Amino acid sequence: MLGRRQPQRSLFEATAWPHRVASDSFYGRMAAVSDVLFRDEDLASLYTLDNGRPSLPPSLLCGVLLLQFYDNAGDEEAVERVRFDLRWKVALALPLDFAGFDPTSLVVFRKRLLAHGKERYAFERFLSVAREAGFLPEKLRLLVDSSPQKGAGAVQDTYTLLRKGVRKLLRAMGFAVPEKRRGLAANLAPYLDNDQKARIDWSNADERQAELTRLVADADAALALAQEQTDNPEVRTTGWLLTKILGDDVVEGSEGQPQIGEGVARDRLISWTDPTMRHGRKSASGRWNGAKIQVAEDPETELILAVDVVDASRGDGKALLSLVEEAEASTQATVEQVMGDTAYGEAENRVACLERGIDLIAPVGSGGDPTVAKDAFTLGEEGASLTCPTGQTTTQWRLVTDPHGRAVKQFVFARNLCEACPLLARCVHSETKGRSVTLHYHEAVLRAARERQATPSFREAYRQRARIERKIAEVMGQGLRQARYVGRKKQRLQALWTAAVVNLKRLFTLAQDDPTRLREGVRRQPLAVLGRAG
């Protein structure tokens, strides 16, 4: 049953006695709005209202969760701070003799938030406060960027992934039950008893090859058994992941034997502990294992308007529209401008922003040698010709298909023209053909963007993008650099509540000259905007 905080103040309440917690600290400012910061009725849908033992007040647990992410404390440490840390008692308006609660209450509370789609509660509540207090305009500008997040799971090699995959699939099919296990093949039964790496000489290539051959054969046998239980969701999911590992990591050798493939598949599974983890790269040498945090900030108020956790292998630009939609839904305002780096300036984003009436300020990428890159070629009127940097023009073109299956023009320069050019070695990589240049499906949009980015007004406006770097650093400094939890839903909860902490700090700063403005904003905000399922 829903438990509620009592409005009656206690004689033993920490704030009723002289204390040394500074009123201008995060804890002191939180104490000033503790009675209205979170409301029990906002989360009533998480509980049964008419029977059962009263729960811990959800408003209290929200406050504890917020302080957890502020101080980067685990569940047990959080309960210890609730009991003994005067700063937490002041911030939460607790009595000095408050006995605390079991740490598992925090685990259960997070599960309730996720199960009822309320993980966004604090984040959206504080944005609603900002809007009600008059800090947010009706037309929004967004600065967007991303940063790596290290995963909470163990990174595993191909041998371990195959071994654990077979074990998980057999258990999902129910073979751990003794009665059912009797019919299991002799080569598969040991996976249920032993989850240890094979005891072989791992420096010996022949022994490694034999172990890989055995694991692949056993994985194929387990997948064949799984075909009989395709109606079981767990079997389907585990079987698909095991198939993906085989497809991404294993290739057929010259003699027909399985081998670990060269290179790494972009979307390769790297952990059974957390199957959402991926390899991510910021550069050729900068790799991490985990996910990627996407952040959108309002440059005027410096409030985070959207935050998300996406695959580490996913391009930054792919998340742009979802960030825009989240910011608009969370603030009930309209985005009119977005600013990001080159990753967000891909043509598809530009077209989508044009259709929405959004001004996208982002540079267009230019790959390779700028002297001979595609944007160094001049496109003729109506796209009928193409002129190279040295002045040679071609009207020869053919239709080819782009990665999205769309027909695009590919201009071709004659080989004899290219051979007479001093830029041949830099421009042409074929030994028999001349240079070819494939136009983008939205070539006109990209060329217009390149012309714009050469103007002083673009360069002046783009300088503001650097502000998002400070916000990213602040969010990561609050503990978001390392995932606390396994699984995308829980990781999003961490990102949302960490962003809520950062936003509350900023709201305290914005309302510093008039604290009642923030308090009245908390009181006035409508319930309808709270806890939007996401």
* pLDDT at 530 (0 to 100): 38
Task: Tell me the three-class secondary structure of 136-154, residue by residue.
Answer: CCCEEEEEEEEEEEECCCC
Below-70 pLDDT ranges, the chain: 7-12, 14, 16-17, 284, 515-516, 520-534
**Would you kindly state where each structural domain of the chain is located, as residue ranges?**
1-116, 158-260, 374-441
> CA torsion angle for 276, 279, 282, 286 (degrees, to 10)?
140
* pLDDT at 107 (0 to 100): 97
Q: How is residue 476 annotated by DSSP? A: I
* pLDDT at 262 (0 to 100): 85
pLDDT in tens, 207-247: 999 999 999 999 999 999 999 898 999 999 999 999 999 99
Alpha-carbon distance 76 to 73, whole Å? 8
Q: How is residue 424 annotated by DSSP? A: H
Q: Can you list the positions of beta strands (E) in 214-344?
A: 250-252, 258-260, 278-281, 287-297, 304-311, 334-339
Q: Which amino acid is at 475?
A: V
* pLDDT at 347 (0 to 100): 94
Closest CA to 337 of 316, 302, 320, 361: 361
Closest CA to 365 of 430, 316, 399, 407: 316
* pLDDT at 515 (0 to 100): 67
Closest CA to 294 of 88, 499, 517: 499
Tokens of 429: 């990589």
Tokens of 301: 């108020």
| 319 Cβ contact partners less than 8 Å away, ≥ 6 residues apart | 146, 294, 308, 310
pLDDT in tens, 467-483: 999 999 999 999 999 99
**Is 0.95 surpassed by the pTM of this model?**
no
* pLDDT at 182 (0 to 100): 77
Radius of gyration (C-alpha) of the chain in whole angstroms: 29
* pLDDT at 258 (0 to 100): 95
Sign of the CA dihedral 149, 150, 151, 156?
positive
Alpha-carbon distance 215 to 185, whole Å? 14
* pLDDT at 153 (0 to 100): 94
Phi, psi dihedrals of residue 219, rounded to the nearest 5°: -65, -40
Beta bridge partners of 141: 337
